[in-house]
């Protein structure tokens, strides 16, 4: 805590709550780990509660008189009945309630009551006998039990409550410490699931695979008769938001079987053994409910390769994973139990999970293609009032790379924008604006940028756009904007591919680097200085260059050699940057890679600089226009580049 600069502590400083001295991001009053002050507060409250309780219970309604006075009252015959109790002698001035057939309940207040604290006095009973006082030594049972409760049970209860509160705070979760080994309330089977395959679109291959699973759950005998083996586990693999969770629910819905859902992270607990017990319990419950589906979402949290990751590993996770493997081996595929799991990190999964007899069927849930996107849009626009002129296929065409969750988001945003514009129906332009919004984050028109910065941003973005326009194979520029959006992006150049792409050539990769470098090159050319605005571009272009060398085997020295190894990756699955990817090369090679990256980037930068020098006039004109209009659309940009291209260059770039 560097802010704690003062070493002298004045007394009143000590008493102040320390919320201003700690981490400024922390919520005031939140305990930092185990904080003594925190539990002390609870103890105090408990103490006050106990004494309050005590006070009310043992408060005498009557004044306690001295013992001598009490004895006098017996002597004078005023007290006719005495109840002897552990703590008090209680004298009553009438004897009514002592009779067995008394109409009054014992609790009723009969006559005047005197109380006294007894002293050791052997003559007391003799005196009472002499005076004919009715006396009984039956203590009120209730009070005996109460005092037992207060003296023994309550303190323990309070201690337990405190311990539990502190523990749960300490663990940073609200898990019930006592209930470890048992299931949480969340793992109840969901029955009667409404999701159907028709609610999922654009993932036809995955659906086709899962139809068989549904059929098996519906009529298992069909498969067992013929001796066929049904997979025990189906692993849904794909980028986030492609509908994996949705598909798993649809399987349960179609088959009309109970659905146990749990996420991988929920199995990994504070205490070693808890997750394993939870797995055991989950399978036990599921076996009782079979046929049914167990769905483990984000299984990578649990099934990370036991080798990779942190040093020393994680005992709890390993035990849980082992238990899962044991359970998977333990059940028979004829039992009607099917395990479905989902992950977007198949590369980090423990290979043991993917072995035959476990998750032996892997289903790729990929990003939807254009037709798939249109289908998904149809599903999500069902409940939306749309203008008949809206063309969903056009929207699908302009959203390459969007996953189902993005498209659902677009539809929702479009509806909101229509409402904001006071329309009763959603129009085409609402969709276009929604797409932009989803692509680039929320428009922040009211953010102030100073004019100089704005000028730099305009030149930078125009640099990207012109480089893209004159790079063969680069995606066409759809829009250039210097309206700040989202977090930190001051402007953007929107490029959209004409079609879905699955392969990228080396030339196209270099072209991507060119376009990324175009922003900075333009800045340098116009202002003779460079800014931090290109940080993201630099990071991305460096990454492309690195992967060309290490992953795609595109360098001179290591032609067709992969230099990193990725564990357990599934063919057909898009490569995801993997922090744990192991390096399979020497220090020398590392140096070579670094030098090669630098040389690729440098060469491309020189190329882009040359291109922009040739197009300097165009750069100036378009950036000035962009500064004025803030946004330049695709058609306008194409017209400008065509118009401004000098006759000699026109032949070279006929596409513009």
Q: Is 343 in the site for Mg ion (CB under 5 A)?
A: no
The number of angstroms, rounded, from the C-alpha of 507 to the middle of its chain's C-alpha atoms is: 39
Applying CB under 6 A, does 243 fall inside the site for ligand ADP? yes
404 binds, among Zn ion, Mg ion, ligand ADP, none (CB under 5 to 8 A by kind): ligand ADP
Structure tokens at 608: 């882009």
Which residues within the stretch 232-251 sit at the binding site for Mg ion (CB under 5 A)?
245
Q: Under the criterion CB under 5 A, does residue 537 sit at the interface with Zn ion?
A: yes
Residue 358 in contact with ligand ADP, rule: CB under 6 A: no
What angle do the packed helices 535-550 and 506-527 form, to 10 degrees?
150
Comparing CB distances to Mg ion, the nearer of 246 and 279 is 246
Please tell me whether residue 202 binds ligand ADP under the rule CB under 6 A: yes
| Crossing angle (nearest 10°) for helices 451-469 and 587-614 | 100
> Closest approach of Cβ 243 to ligand ADP, in Å?
3
Give the C-alpha distances (Å, rounded to integers) separating 411 from 236, 370, 495: 25, 16, 21
CB under 8 Å to 282, separation ≥6 — which residues? 183, 187, 260, 262, 294
Q: Is 455 in the site for Mg ion (CB under 5 A)?
A: no
- Whole-angstrom Cα distance, residue 37 to residue 29? 10
| 422 annotated ligand binder | no
Q: How many angstroms separate the most distant Cα atoms in the chain?
A: 137
514 binds Zn ion (CB under 5 A): no
Q: Binding string, 567-606, against Mg ion, x = CB under 5 A?
A: ----------------------------------------
**Residue 293 φ then ψ, to 5°:** -120, 130
Q: Please identify the residue of the shown chain whose CB is closest to the bound ligand ADP.
A: 404
Picked from Mg ion, ligand ADP, Zn ion, none, the partner binding residue 522 (CB below 5 to 8 A depending on kind) is none
- Tell me whether residue 122 is annotated as binding: no
239 is in an annotated binding site: yes
β-pairing, 89-92 vs 233-237, is unpaired
Q: Evaluate the omega torsion of the peptide bond into residue 291 and state whether it is cis, within 30 degrees of 0.
A: yes
Cα-based distances in Å from 603 to 291, 545, 587 = 62, 11, 24
281 labeled binding residue: no
297/537 with CB nearer ligand ADP: 297
Query: Minimum distance between the CB of residue 363 and ligand ADP, rounded to whole angstroms?
Result: 12
245 binds ligand ADP (CB under 6 A): yes
Closest separation in Å from C-beta 297 to Mg ion? 5
Q: How far apart are CA 522 and CA 269, in angstroms?
A: 53
- Would you say 244 is a known binding-site residue? yes
Decide: 463 and 518 in contact? Cβ < 8 Å.
Answer: yes
Q: State the Rg of the chain over Cα.
A: 39
151: its two tokens: 């003296």
Burial string for 325-361 (b: 16+ CB within 10 Å, else e) reads: bebbeebebeebbbbbbbbbbbbbbbebbbeeebbeb
Catalytic residues: 461
Q: Min. distance of Cβ 421 from ligand ADP in angstroms? A: 24
Residue nearest to Mg ion (CB): 245
Number of residues forming the site for ligand ADP (CB under 6 A)? 17
Q: Closest Cα to residue 552, out of 541, 540, 562?
A: 562
Nearer CB in complex with ligand ADP: 203/294: 203
Binding map of Mg ion across residues 190-229, x = CB under 5 A, - = no contact: ----------------------------------------
- Of 369 and 429, which CB lies nearer to ligand ADP in the complex structure? 369
Q: Which of 110, 231, 233, 241 binds ligand ADP (CB under 6 A)?
A: 241
Candidate list 213, 341, 376, 438; residue touching ligand ADP; CB under 6 A? 376
CB of 230 or CB of 252, closer to Mg ion: 252
Question: Looking at the DSSP assignment, which residues form a beta bridge with residue 554?
Answer: 559
Chosen residue from 408, 456, 468, 545 binding ligand ADP by CB under 6 A: 408
Q: Which is nearer to ligand ADP, 405 or 449 (CB)?
A: 405
The residue from 519, 541, 549, 563 that contacts Zn ion (CB under 5 A) is: 519
> Per CB under 6 A, does 240 bind ligand ADP?
yes
565 is in an annotated binding site: no
Cβ 269 to ligand ADP shortest distance, Å: 23
In terms of CB distance, is 205 or 329 closer to ligand ADP?
205
Q: Which of residues 284-343 bind ligand ADP (CB under 6 A)?
A: 342
* Alpha carbon 392 to its chain's center: 32
* Buried-exposed string 34-69: b where 16+ CB fall within 10 A, e elsewhere: ebeeebeeeeeebeeeeeeeeeeeeeeeeeebeeee
Give the interface segment with ligand ADP, choosing from 244-252, 457-465, 502-510, 573-581 (CB under 6 A): 244-252
Q: Which two tokens mark 233?
A: 């586990």
Torsion sign over Cα 411, 413, 414, 415: positive
Token pair recorded at residue 302:
């649990």
> Do the beta carbons of residue 131 and residue 75 sit within 8 Å?
yes
Q: Which parts of this chain interact with ligand ADP (CB under 6 A)?
A: 200-203, 240-246, 342, 376, 379, 404-405, 408
Q: Which parts of this chain interact with Zn ion (CB under 5 A)?
A: 519, 537
Residues at the annotated binding site for ATP? 238-245
Residues at the annotated binding site for Zn(2+)? 460, 464, 537
Q: Which parts of this chain interact with Mg ion (CB under 5 A)?
A: 245
Residues at the annotated binding site? 238-245, 460, 464, 537
């Amino acid at each position: 805590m560097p802010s704690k600069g003062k070493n002298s502590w004045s007394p009143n400083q000590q008493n102040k709550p320390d919320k201003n001295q700690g981490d400024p991001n922390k919520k005031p009053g939140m305990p930092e780990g185990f904080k003594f002050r925190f539990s002390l507060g609870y103890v105090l409250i408990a103490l006050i509660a106990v004494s309050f309780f005590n006070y009310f219970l043992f408060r005498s309604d009557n004044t306690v008189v001295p013992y001598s006075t009490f004895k006098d009252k017996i002597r004078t015959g005023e007290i006719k009945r005495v109840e002897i109790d552990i703590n008090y002698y209680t004298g009553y001035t009438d004897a009514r309630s002592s009779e067995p057939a008394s109409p009054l309940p014992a609790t009723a207040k009969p006559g005047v009551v005197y109380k006294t604290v007894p002293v050791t006095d052997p003559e007391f009973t003799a005196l009472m006998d002499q005076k004919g006082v009715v006396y009984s030594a039956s203590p009120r049972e209730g009070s005996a039990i109460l005092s037992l409760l207060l003296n023994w049970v309550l303190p323990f209860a309070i201690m337990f409550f405190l311990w539990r509160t502190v523990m749960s705070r300490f663990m940073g979760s609200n898990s019930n410490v006592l209930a470890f080994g048992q299931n949480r309330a969340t793992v109840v089977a969901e029955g009667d699931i409404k999701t159907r395959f028709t609610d999922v679109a654009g993932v036809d291959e995955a659906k086709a695979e899962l139809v068989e699973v549904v059929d098996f759950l519906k009529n298992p005998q069909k498969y067992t008769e013929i001796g066929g083996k049904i997979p025990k586990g189906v692993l849904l693999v794909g980028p986030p938001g492609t509908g994996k969770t949705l598909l798993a629910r649809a399987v349960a819905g179609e088959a009309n079987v109970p659905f146990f859902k749990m996420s991988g992270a929920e199995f990994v607990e504070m205490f070693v053994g808890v997750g394993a017990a939870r797995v055991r319990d989950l399978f036990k419950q599921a076996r009782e409910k079979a046929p049914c589906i167990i769905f483990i979402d984000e299984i990578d949290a649990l099934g990370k390769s036991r080798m990779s990751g942190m040093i020393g590993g994680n005992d709890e996770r390993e035990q849980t994973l082992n238990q899962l493997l044991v359970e998977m081996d333990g059940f028979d595929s004829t039992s009607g139990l099917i395990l479905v799991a989902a992950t977007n990190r198949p590369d980090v999964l423990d290979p043991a999970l993917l072995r035959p007899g476990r998750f032996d069927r892997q289903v790729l849930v990929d990003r939807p293609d254009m037709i798939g996107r249109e289908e998904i849009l149809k599903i999500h626009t069902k409940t939306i009032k749309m203008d008949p002129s809206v063309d969903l296929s056009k929207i699908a065409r302009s959203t390459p790379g969007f996953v189902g969750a993005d498209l659902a988001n677009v539809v929702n945003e479009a509806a909101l924008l229509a409402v904001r514009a006071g329309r009763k129906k959603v129009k085409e332009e609402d969709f276009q604006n929604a797409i932009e919004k989803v692509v680039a984050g929320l428009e922040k028109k009211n953010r102030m940028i100073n004019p100089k910065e704005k000028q730099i941003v305009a030149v930078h973005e125009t640099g990207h756009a012109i480089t893209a326009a004159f790079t063969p194979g680069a995606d066409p520029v759809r829009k250039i904007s210097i309206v700040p959006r989202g977090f930190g992006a001051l402007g953007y150049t929107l490029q959209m591919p004409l079609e879905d792409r699955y392969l990228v050539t080396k030339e196209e990769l270099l072209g991507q680097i060119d376009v990324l470098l175009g922003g900075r090159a333009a800045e340098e050319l116009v202002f003779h200085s460079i800014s931090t605005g290109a940080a993201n571009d630099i990071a991305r272009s460096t990454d492309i260059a690195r992967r060309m060398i290490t992953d795609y085997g595109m360098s001179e020295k290591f032609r067709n050699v992969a230099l990193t190894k990725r564990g357990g990756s599934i063919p057909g699955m898009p490569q995801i940057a993997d922090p744990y990817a192991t390096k399979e090369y020497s220090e020398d090679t590392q140096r070579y890679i670094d030098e090669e990256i630098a040389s690729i980037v440098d060469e491309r930068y020189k190329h882009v600089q040359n291109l922009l020098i040739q197009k300097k006039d165009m750069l100036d004109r378009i950036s000035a226009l962009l500064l004025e209009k803030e946004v330049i659309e695709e058609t306008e940009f194409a017209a400008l580049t065509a118009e401004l291209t000098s006759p000699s260059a026109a032949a070279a770039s006929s596409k513009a």
